[in-house]
Structure 1
Amino acid sequence: MSKKAPHPTIAERLQQAKQLRPHTNELIGLARGLLADGMLNQSEAEYLLKWLEERPGALDTWPYNVLFQRLNESLADGHLDSDEEAEMLGMLVDLTGGGNLESGATAVNTTALPLNDPQPSIEFSGRTFVVTGTFASGSRREVTSAIEMRGGNVSGSVSRKTDYVVLGQRVSDQWTHANYGGKLEKAIMLRDDGHPVAIVSEQHWASFLD
Structure 2
Amino acid sequence: MKNIEAQTLNVYTSKSRADKAISSLKGLLIGINLDGEVNEAEINELKLWANNHKELINRNPFKEFMDVIDCAVTEKIPSKECIEDLYWLCQKYENDNYYYNTVTSDLQILQGICHGILADGVINDKEIYDLKQWLNENEHLSTYYPYDELRSLILSVLSDKKIDEEERVVLMAYFKQFVNIHSKEISSKINEQTSDVNISGLCTSDPDVVFEGKTFCITGVLKRGNRENLHRDILKLGGIPTDSITKKTDYLIVGDNGNPAWAFSCYGRKVEKAVNLRKDGHTIMLIHEFDFSDVIDDLLS
- What is the TM-score of this pair, normalised by structure 1? 0.45
Return the structure number with greater helix share.
Answer: 2
- What is the TM-score of this pair, normalised by structure 2? 0.33
Q: Larger Cα Rg: Structure 1 or Structure 2? A: 2
Q: Which has the higher contact order (CA 8 A, sep 6+)?
A: 1
